[in-house]
Structure 1
Amino acid sequence: MAAALPQSSLVVSKAHAQSEDGFQSFLNGLRGRAEREGISRATLDRVLPTLTYNARVIELDRAQPGGAPNAPIPAFAPYKARHVDAARINRGRAKYQQLRPQLARIEQETGVPEAIMVAIYGHETNYGAYTGNFDLLRALASLAYEGRRRELFTAEFLAALKMIDQGVPRSRLVGSWAGATGYPQFLPSVYVRLAKDGDGDGFKDIWSSEPDALASIANYFVNAGWRPNVPWGVAVSVPVGLNRSAIASKTSAPRCPRVHDRHSQWKTIAEWRALGITPIGAPVPRDNELASLLEPDGVGQTAYLLTTNYRAILDYNCSNFYALSVGLLADQVSR
């Protein structure tokens, strides 16, 4: 005779069954929208019955930092030490040399610097070393069902189904628990809009073709407004007596305002020089180039003058620490 299950196990099993029932009902309810968006019935019939609820991705999503408005912002220096370290720089330089023919061609076509493409590749997946192993469709469907960001994840789930309709094998759709996939860690909607065939074989393979992944990264930056021949920014020294209240930004960004609120007003490089701000890095943007000032570690530490191309990096991942590290890694890789 089998032993009786503990009461706690019965509660968990019941909750799981309820979640699974609700999940399947949610998926069935998406069929009409999916068909209206052009997703084939064949894909829906082939994929939807294979999906089950993934409680683990919900746990991971709920464990993310909330980013409360008054939460203290940590120092940038420790993040930089982890993400612009000797190992990542050296691997980036090796990739840079290995892929120079493809990188040079893509830069000529798009204006996006070779080193920026490599730095994104390095930051997102450590040059392809880790791209995630979650079943993308299962993860996205579970996140959509959970409901905290239902429309976002529903749209990404449907975009992943569109990828299958476009010929992407189901086996390729693996990645992070939040739905990012491939060497560039594109969300499905980004893949559908911006992925490129960089090697000319007729397939946009961001999972195993580095030329495709790099061409796709470059296309993302073109779409985000990257301006050719303009540095992303430069490290600077700020005089102790700078009147920071006089240069504070008076606007609020509609997207991730906490990130943009740390930036000053826009001034030309020449105007910043006139205020005593001295570049200590290279390359230095032209004197007539507009830039904002960011002091990520506070007064008395290394600061940065940042051009509109820095905002293009923020479009990829809206984090000052991420964008600064991409720019700094790119500078190191190209040396």
Structure 2
Amino acid sequence: MRHALLALTCLATPLTAQECGGSIDSFRQGVLAEATAAGLDPQAARDFLNTASIDQSVLNADRAQGVFQLDFVTFSRRLISASRLQNAQVYGDRYDGIFDDIEARFGIPRGVLLAFWAFETDFGQIQGDFNTRDALFTLAHDCRRPELFRPELIAAIELYQRGDFPLNTTGAWAGEIGQVQMLPRDIIENGVDGDGDGHVTLKTSAPDALMSAATLLADLGWVPNQPALQEITVPAGLDWTLTGLDKEMTVDQWRALGVDIRNGAAPAGSLPASVLLPMGRNGPAFFAYPNFRVYFEWNQSLTYVLTAAYFATRINGAPVYDAGNADPGLSGDQMVQLQERLQALGYDVGGADGILGEKTREAVQQEQARRGLPADAWPTLDLLNAL
């Protein structure tokens, strides 16, 4: 479920994220010491760790996330199909009572959970075949993001000690487990027995998975009965420097500038919103409300979370977005060049990875404004050439 931004738990100690790389045996002993210091049973930790191994296929998957270089229209059309929409209706009906309970308790529309359920595992059908223990061991040992995965490895040991983590558990390459792909710490903190059988079984029980996911979203700050995303129309003369997720105004203030809801009812005029233009002023346009930011606790890719939030609106009855006629974007290699040139000018773009993330968008918008270009945060070849 959450692939990048993970909250620390009480299991994290001062050793967390400080030790990575080096010999496997030394790393294994360090994790054992940390688990023991966290109060876990040393024998359980040894049993868990003794046969854990590095999985090169996990590292390969971690470095091969080129799908996030796709633009929003391409990415969303690839992920959202007629069959997925139809299956969302089927599974929504099948677990109607669970979704009604979730909406009553948490104020989370069913489309939100159905969208993630669809994208993560195709409604539980494809949950991943990576050995979860080895995936977490590998990513904690790797020095790219140990601060994220070492605490997850310790949490997995706790689940194993409880009897809730067989060593042959499989899931996604990044260590997520079950139908909505939850990481071990999230399972410990937010796992819910949704079907009343006395166990939290996220791989085989849809009620457990859905109730656990809803509890996690609530814990991450979901505001009940508020939208996350809504399609809008924007006037041609809008001040584009006002757009972007780093700026907010109320719905009423935006509407006074000519921004309007494309379909459906407008929320309370006092609700804060950002105008999100994923492909610039000539492409699709959305209001991103406070709940939209919760999605980034699930996944840090703007393209992914925007697609998930949009798919949720489709499931809940919204029409297909107006794709507009966006200016041609940059290839992956060109995006890397752009990011390198922005870095040379002193901008923090979060690394030259070829992915148009929020930091790159902010830098692009600032440079567009400085050069007198339409500051809609959509990088084009004209801007690359100008740099």
TM-score bracket for the superposition, by shorter chain length: 0.7 to 0.9
Structure 1 residue runs of 4+, over 6 Å off? none
| More off after superposition, 216-225 vs 43-52 | 43-52
Q: Is the 8 A contact 1:93 1:334 kept in 2?
A: no
CA distance in 1, matches of 2:308, 2:144: 30
Count of residues in Structure 1 that have an aligned counterpart in Structure 2: 297
User: Which residue does 1:288 correspond to in 2?
Assistant: 270
SS for the counterpart of 1:293 is strand
Matched, 1:130 2:153: no
Q: Is the 8 A contact 1:102 1:211 kept in 2?
A: yes
| More off after superposition, 233-242 vs 29-38 | 29-38
Q: Deviations over 1:268-289 (max 9, x none)?
A: 1111111011211334322221
User: Which residue does 1:233 correspond to in 2?
Assistant: 229
User: Which residue does 1:59 correspond to in 2?
Assistant: 60
Change (3 A) 1:50 1:319: same
Q: Is the 8 A contact 2:72 2:307 kept in 1?
A: no
| Aligned partner of 1:151 among 139, 147, 150 | 147
User: Which residue does 1:257 correspond to in 2?
Assistant: none
Q: Deviations over 1:173-192 (max 9, x none)?
A: 31112111111111112212
Give unmatched runs, 5+ long, in structure 1: 1-19, 68-72, 249-261
User: Which residue does 1:332 correspond to in 2?
Assistant: 314
CA distance in 2, matches of 1:120, 1:172: 25
Change (3 A) 1:91 1:133: same
Give unmatched runs, 5+ long, in structure 2: 1-20, 318-387
Residue 113 of structure 1 deviates from its aligned partner by 1.6
Residue 74 of structure 1 deviates from its aligned partner by 4.6
CA distance in 2, matches of 1:106, 1:66: 32
User: Which residue does 1:297 correspond to in 2?
Assistant: 279
CA distance in 2, matches of 1:205, 1:108: 23
CA distance in 2, matches of 1:59, 1:323: 23
Matched, 1:195 2:191: yes
Change (3 A) 1:284 1:137: same
Q: Is the 8 A contact 1:234 1:305 kept in 2?
A: yes
CA distance in 2, matches of 1:229, 1:51: 44
Residue 134 of structure 1 deviates from its aligned partner by 0.8
Change (3 A) 1:293 1:242: same
CA distance in 2, matches of 1:55, 1:104: 43
Of Structure 1 and Structure 2, the greater helix share is in: 1
Q: Deviations over 1:232-270 (max 9, x none)?
A: 12111111111112x25xxxxxxxxxxxxx425211111
CA distance in 1, matches of 2:54, 2:309: 39
User: Which residue does 1:308 correspond to in 2?
Assistant: 290
Residue 198 of structure 1 deviates from its aligned partner by 1.1
Q: Decide which structure has the larger Cα Rg and report it.
A: 1
Residue 39 of structure 1 deviates from its aligned partner by 1.8
CA distance in 2, matches of 1:300, 1:209: 44
CA distance in 2, matches of 1:82, 1:313: 20
Which amino acid letter does the alignment assign opposite residue 167 of structure 1?
Answer: G
Residue 65 of structure 1 deviates from its aligned partner by 5.5
Residue 147 of structure 1 deviates from its aligned partner by 2.3
How big is the alpha-carbon RMSD for the aligned residues of Structure 1 and Structure 2? 2.2
CA distance in 1, matches of 2:177, 2:114: 17
